Amino acid sequence: MEVAFGHWSASWPALIAYVLAAGWHLAGLRRLFAADGTGASTAGTPASRQLRREAALYQLGLLLVLLALVSPVGYFASLYIWVRALQMLLVGVVGPGLIVLGAPWTALRLAVGRPSATSDRHQPWFTSRPALAVVAANVLWIGWQIPVLFDAARANSAAGLAEHVSYLVAGLAFWLQMISSRPYSQRVTPLRRVALLVGTVAAFTVVGMVLVFGSNVFYFGFPASAHHVMSVLSDQQLAGAVIWMGVLPPMMVVAVALMMEWLRDEESAELSAGLDRLLTPRRNGWPSRPVIR
């Protein structure tokens, strides 16, 4: 009970950012409902249900990121390496995934009075370079696991804030390449997106294996006095397992969804080709009338 209700921290940058992001979205969502005519009288329509479902996902993603920073997770992340690894997954992978699923972009634009824009010229610049965006996201995620940066982020609040912002930005850039998020469209095929997912899982696996099977302590900034149940080395190895295994569930779910999308596209293409063959008049190889020589 003390772990659940104690050690909550008032991280003012995180709280202010959460209030601004949540309120901004709700203000734009209200305008979006009014513009689409999906008010209370049409609350049961598919469009209204989709907007509400997306809004819930976005707000859940924001709340998850906030809880990873101000809840006991944020407190114990300064004491235990494995909790810090869990915090990285929540802030950098799971939370941004829910935010992208929530497709808040139109509502956020409407909150400042800008109309929705869906043409390609309004796409974020990094969506035109998916491989580059995924590589950059992996560099940010994994770069902060380098011991000197990892320990600096724990010891210095400014460095810690930069770490969390980097995780969040990297997660948003990564998932925008993988998940449909209205009004932005995907630039690459499902199979290529699966390949980018596999590459990301491989990178996390390497980092996790290095920590799990390493026999030396890499992170010296964590106090040994706080490790009563496990040693710092055991804590580090558990952090490697969290990174290694923790990234798999969200990546596997998205990979399965992408494979299903690819199969639907293939079946649709085959069906379209079959209908074209059926509807196209065939030329008879035999003459319609006998030829008199």
- 12 located within any domain: yes
Q: Which two structure tokens, joined as six digits, stand for 267?
A: 């079946």
Question: Rounded to the nearest 5 degrees, what angle is found at the Cα of 161, between the Cα atoms of 160 and 162?
Answer: 90
7 by Cβ neighbours in 10 Å (0-12 / 13-18 / 19+) ranks as middle
282, part of any domain = no
- Condensed to tens digits (0 to 9), the pLDDT of residues 134-157 reads 999 999 999 999 999 999 998 898
At 41, the pLDDT band (50, 70, 90 cuts) reads: very low
In a domain, 95, yes or no: yes
- Residues 193 and 186: beta-carbon distance below 8 Å: yes
> Could you tell me if residue 207 is inside a domain?
yes
* CA dihedral of 91, 96, 34, 113, whole degrees rounded to 10: 90
Q: Tell me, yes or no, whether 52 lies in a domain.
A: yes
Local confidence band at 170 (pLDDT 50, 70, 90 cut-offs):
very high
Q: Is 70 a domain residue?
A: yes
For residue 293, tell me if it sits in a domain: no
DSSP code at position 292: P
Alpha-carbon gap, residue 184 to 67, rounded angstroms: 28
- How do residues 177-206 score in pLDDT, each as one tens digit? 998 888 887 778 889 999 999 999 999 999
Nearest to 86 by CA among 69, 98, 102: 69
In the chain, the amino acid numbered 178 is: M
Taking all residues of the chain, what is their mean pLDDT, rounded to a whole number?
Answer: 84
Output the furthest CA–CA distance in the chain (Å, rounded): 107
- Per-residue pLDDT at 5 exceeds 50: yes
The residue length of the chain stands at 293
Of 10 and 31, the one with more pLDDT: 31
Dihedral of alpha carbons 115, 117, 122, 127, sign:
positive
Q: What percent of the chain shows pLDDT beyond 90? A: 52
User: So what's the pLDDT on residue 224?
Assistant: 76
Residue 121 has pLDDT above 60, yes or no: no
Domain that holds residue 141: 7-270
Distance of CA 271 to CAs 47, 263, 276, 278, Å? 29, 12, 9, 11
Rounded distance, CA 135 to CA 147, Å? 20
Name the CA radius of gyration of the chain, rounded. 25
> Confidence class of residue 40 from pLDDT cuts 50, 70 and 90?
very low
Number of domains in the chain: 1
Q: 262 burial class (0-12, 13-18, 19+ CB within 10 angstroms)?
A: middle
E strand spans, 3-158: none
Predicted confidence band of residue 37 (pLDDT cuts 50, 70, 90): low
The residue with tokens 């290529």 is 192
